[in-house]
Amino acid sequence: MPKFYFFSFWSLILLSACSSHLKLGTEAYIKWVENEKNGLKVSKVVGPLKYVIQYEPIPYLVLIQNRDKLINDSFLNHEISNLEGMYYFKLRIETLDKNKDPMTLQISSVDDYHNRNLIFSDEFAENVRLVENGDTLHCEMFNLVNNYGLAPYMDLVLGFTKKKLVTSEANNNGDVPEIKVLVNDDVFNAGLLRFSFQKNTISKIPELSL
């Protein structure tokens, strides 16, 4: 019996150590990335709203942008090369009651609605920053996904150009920085929201196997 426990303990240690080399098929990979327990999706609730930010690894981004296509290694590698050099995120702002467009909260006229739409279509990019190893990066890719008020949420697509790490950081941390996304929501008066993604979380993202 003691030998069994000894074997089980060290088996778990080995499995844990090898987790960063995990390979997953297409659907399993998507589910892993979107599973909040794995640390790539972080959420905060402020008042009547829930803010959910999804870190999008580039292979994941290729998959969700090409769901209707048959993806092979050649296509995947080509798309990855086109998208490299940036961090990608999706920020979802949703109402907790799930039955109201967040754009309609706390407004008194149609003009208010249109003005809010304009803010989230362009100006709000100035309210979003990414901190990479202490360096603050501006949001260089920003897009409001228009759902025409037909959903109880709104999605914002975010992109930040990566900074090159100095040699010592690259060697010590496996070229994987700790990153934080800062969102200053002065539209819904939620204030400054911080979303953190740890180095050990990002470094253990499974490999996509087609």
The alpha-helical segments, DSSP class H, found in the chain are 2-17, 26-34, 58-65, 73-83, 110-121, 167-173, 199-203
Instruction: Give me the residue spans of the domains in the chain.
Output: 22-208
Residue 177: its pLDDT value, please?
Answer: 72
CB-CB neighbours of 186 under 10 Å? 11
Q: Say how far apart CA 132 and CA 180 lie, in whole Å.
A: 7
**Beta strand extents in 110-167 (DSSP E only):** 128-132, 135-138, 141-145, 153-161
Taking a C-beta distance cutoff of 8 angstroms, is the pair 89, 158 a contact?
yes
Residue 106's identity, in one-letter code, is Q
Residue 19: its pLDDT value, please?
Answer: 46
Phi, psi of 135 (to 5 degrees): -95, 135
Phi, psi of 204 (to 5 degrees): -100, 15
Q: Which residues of 120-137 are buried (b: 16+ CB within 10 A; e: fewer)?
A: beeebbebbbbbbeeeeb
Residue 84: its pLDDT value, please?
Answer: 94
Residue 106: its pLDDT value, please?
Answer: 87
Angle at 201 between CA 197 and CA 204, to 5 degrees: 150
Taking a C-beta distance cutoff of 8 angstroms, is the pair 206, 35 a contact?
no
Residue 98: its pLDDT value, please?
Answer: 87
- Residue 149 is encoded by which pair of tokens? 């008020």
pLDDT values of the chain reduced to their tens digit, one per residue, 210 residues: 555 444 454 444 444 444 447 899 999 999 999 999 999 999 999 999 999 999 999 999 999 999 888 899 999 999 999 999 999 999 999 999 988 999 999 899 999 999 999 999 989 999 999 999 889 999 999 999 988 888 999 999 999 999 864 333 343 445 667 899 999 999 999 999 999 998 888 888 999 999
Residue 153: its pLDDT value, please?
Answer: 96
Considering the four listed CATH numbers 3.30.420.40, 3.40.50.300, 3.40.50.1000, 2.60.40.3340, the one that applies to the domain covering 22-208 is 2.60.40.3340
Q: Say how far apart CA 65 and CA 40 lie, in whole Å.
A: 18
